[in-house]
Amino acid sequence: MKLKKKFLRCLKVFNLKLTFLLVLFILGCDNSENTSIKFNAELIQGGKFNSEEFQGTPMVINFWYPSCPPCAKELPTLAKFHNQNSKKIKFVGIVHNSLVDKKEDSINLINKFNIKYENIYDENGDLVKDFNVLGFPTTLFFDEDHNLLKKWTGYLDEENLIEQLENIKK
């Protein structure tokens, strides 16, 4: 009986160590998070976008799509803060090509909310993959060296947007 208890205790310790190592391995293998900006893309309004042109300027990148209610809800707030901070912070929208939306739907929302910042149409989902976007909306906040400071997934209200903008201005 003593031998059985000792064996079970050793087995528990082994399982705990194995679980711990497995968790460390999984966390260490997740290098898919893009933590800096370097990309070129076509703008939905026409023209090209090159992130390197804005080196030295903090950036806010918002991933969205037209039929996403929280995405549409936060667009006016993003537009407002872009207008207030456009000389200090670069705002960029990246429109995900969803199955139910058309490119025109994106343009209509951009016009409806009078969005002045540039928007990229991510037709093949390459940028969504590159930045490991798993939910919408997702907003990324980068410092002036284009290092990722914060990844916000879900609706971003005005209070939290102000807080994040203050953090990237530091």
Task: Say how many C-beta atoms besides its own lie within 10 A of residue 118's C-beta.
Answer: 19
In 3D space, the residue among 37, 49, 38 whose CA is nearest the CA of residue 142 turns out to be 37
In 3D space, the residue among 78, 158, 146 whose CA is nearest the CA of residue 118 turns out to be 78
Q: How many CA atoms lie within 13 A of 120 on its CB side?
A: 21
In 3D space, the residue among 17, 18, 33 whose CA is nearest the CA of residue 153 turns out to be 33
pLDDT in tens, 14-34: 444 444 433 334 433 333 454
Q: What is the DSSP letter of 53?
A: G
pLDDT in tens, 87-115: 999 999 999 998 899 999 999 999 999 99
% of the chain exceeding 70 in pLDDT: 78
Helices 69-85 and 158-169 pack at an angle, to 10 degrees, of: 40
pLDDT of residue 116: 96
Domain 40-169: state its class.
alpha beta
Does pLDDT of 166 surpass 80?
Answer: yes
User: Of 3-12, 104-113, 124-133, which gets the smallest average pLDDT?
Assistant: 3-12
pTM of the model: 0.78
